[in-house]
Amino acid sequence: MEALATILFVGAGVGFILGLRMLAHPETARKGNLVSACAMGSAVLGTLVTILEARRGLASDAVETAASASPDALLYVAGGLLVGAVVGIPAARLVKMTSMPEMVAIFNGFGGAASLLVGWGTFQRASTAHQSAQRVLDGVTGDNSAITTEVNVSLTALLGSFGGGDGRFITATIFLAILIGGVTFTGSLIAFGKLSGFITTRPLLYRGQNLINGLLLMVIAGAGVLLVMNPEESWVLPVCIGLSFVLGVAAVVPIGGGDMPVVISLLNSYSGLAACAAGFATDNTLLIIVGALVGASGIVLTRIMCLAMNRSLANVLFSGFGSVTKQSSGAKGEHREARSLTPHDAYYVLEAASSVVIVPGYGMAVAQAQHAVKELADQLEANGADVRFAVHPVAGRMPGHMNVLLAEANVPYEQLAEIDDVNPSMETVDVALVIGANDVVNPDAKGNESSPLYGMPIVEVNRARNVFVLKRSLRTGFAGVENPLFYLENTSMIFGDAKATIEALVGEFKSG
């Protein structure tokens, strides 16, 4: 039985690594997700086997001690599986693709909360054992201060025995699990609110914000040092939990909605780091491995998002970005008019085009137009046009948002192109079709130093021969910055629902 549990845990670790590797490519992402799910199932089965093994008295002393501290462990695991299935299955089936960023944010938050609870539970378990020993000692020896002091100090040893390491190190990992988990939980809730529209997407700033956040972090760090040096000061732990919640809110509130892809990837990394710390606290090798994988991949993805938005990682960590305010790209008092076309008029240009670049954005997700876009691409290819999809890394509301939607519509991976592959030949493109994208095609990022987006790599559709922008109106994007692309001579706006517009274009091609 013990060997079976080991095999299941090792299999789970290998499965997580393989699943993460397969998620790196769109063609194998679905299988990677399935492999990761099976790995999680293997980890749960391994846990159940370990509990049954301890119940039968066949486990090692360490495992048996852990099981005896929680006689209802099997019931807890079964209850967790039931609740998870009741929540997870409907969520996976009913949540719309447009709401996927919010769902990812919530998942990150729950992951952080779970690590916080594991750290808190580990400390409470050691504290309860210490208090029991204290009562036994007091009953035997009375008020013997020398022995009492010895037992008080032994709380550190108890933490070390439960965590399988040095007591102070285990206490430090418990503190980190609680701190990072708490920040991830409340930070993810704020991100969810911004993505859902419950909270304004504009940055909420106040004077001295960074200074206050820095002082708050210093207070938390001081509390953590006190806890590590004196675990008996158990009152410090609830204080750390409360302050970590406050820090999570304070860190994400100042960030604008346009920077949410960076925030989501960073919070994903935080959830992994919290899980890794919880793994050290509980001497769980599998949790350490999984947490390290999530944390490292999240940091790498955050770095990619930062480069795509011309932000530094330090800006993200210290909430020094997202203070974009609404600014006009034109001079004050300048009157500009955007030219508009009907789908019927746009069809004639597309019908004559030999090369078309499609730039998907959040508007495509809102309209759920990905399948119609795939059908239009097929019609264009059948008409002899070369069709490519220029996917900006931060298009949408979460990392890979557009890739997920296009993969759902079975757009071939070969048609997806990086912006560095598309921009050099943009002058030769007959039509650049922008579907709901805004900030990622804003030419001010290249030529207007006063723009908040200046320096951000964009899809340079403004250099194409014709640009068709599908939007409901001329309103700004999520970053709140006006887009001069709408008023260029080679740009035509096609107003209306993106899906209805694309379907009208497909109808024009079919009618010939």
Residue 148: per-residue pLDDT:
47
Encode pLDDT of 385-433 as tens digits: 999 999 998 888 787 888 888 888 889 888 999 899 999 999 999 999 9
Q: Are 396 and 361 in contact (CB under 8 A)?
A: yes
Q: Which domains does the chain have, with CATH numbers?
A: 2-317 (no CATH), 343-511 (3.40.50.1220)
Q: How far, in whole angstroms, is CA 314 from its chain's centroid?
A: 18
Residue percentage of the chain with pLDDT more than 90: 43
Q: How far, in whole angstroms, is CA 191 from its chain's centroid?
A: 10
- Burial profile 168-207: b = 16 or more Cβ within 10 angstroms, e = fewer: eebbbbbbbbbbbbbbbbbbbbbbbbbbeeebebbbbeee
Encode pLDDT of 72-128 as tens digits: 777 888 888 899 899 888 888 888 777 788 888 999 999 999 999 999 988 888 877
Higher-pLDDT residue of 97, 59: 97
138 — pLDDT class (breaks 50, 70, 90): low
Q: How far, in whole angstroms, is CA 434 from its chain's centroid?
A: 26
| 33 pLDDT higher than 50 | yes
Report the predicted TM-score, pTM, of the whole model to 2 decimal places.
0.79
Encode pLDDT of 275-310 as tens digits: 999 999 888 889 999 999 999 999 988 888 888 777
Report, as residue numbers or ranges, the catalytic residues: 439
Reported as type and span, the H/E element at residue 2 is: helix 2-22
Longest CA span, the chain:
98
**For all residues of the chain together, what is the average pLDDT?**
83
Average pLDDT rounded to a whole number, residues 334-342:
80
Beta-ladder partners of 492: 468
Q: Residue 386: phi, psi to the nearest 5?
A: -90, 120
Encode pLDDT of 441-470 as tens digits: 999 888 888 887 888 899 999 999 999 999
User: How far is the C-alpha of 220 from the C-alpha of 240, rounded, in Å?
Assistant: 6
16 — pLDDT class (breaks 50, 70, 90): very high
CB 62: neighbour CB atoms within 10 A? 13
Range from 205-214, 326-335, 502-511 carrying the lowest mean pLDDT? 326-335
161 — pLDDT class (breaks 50, 70, 90): low
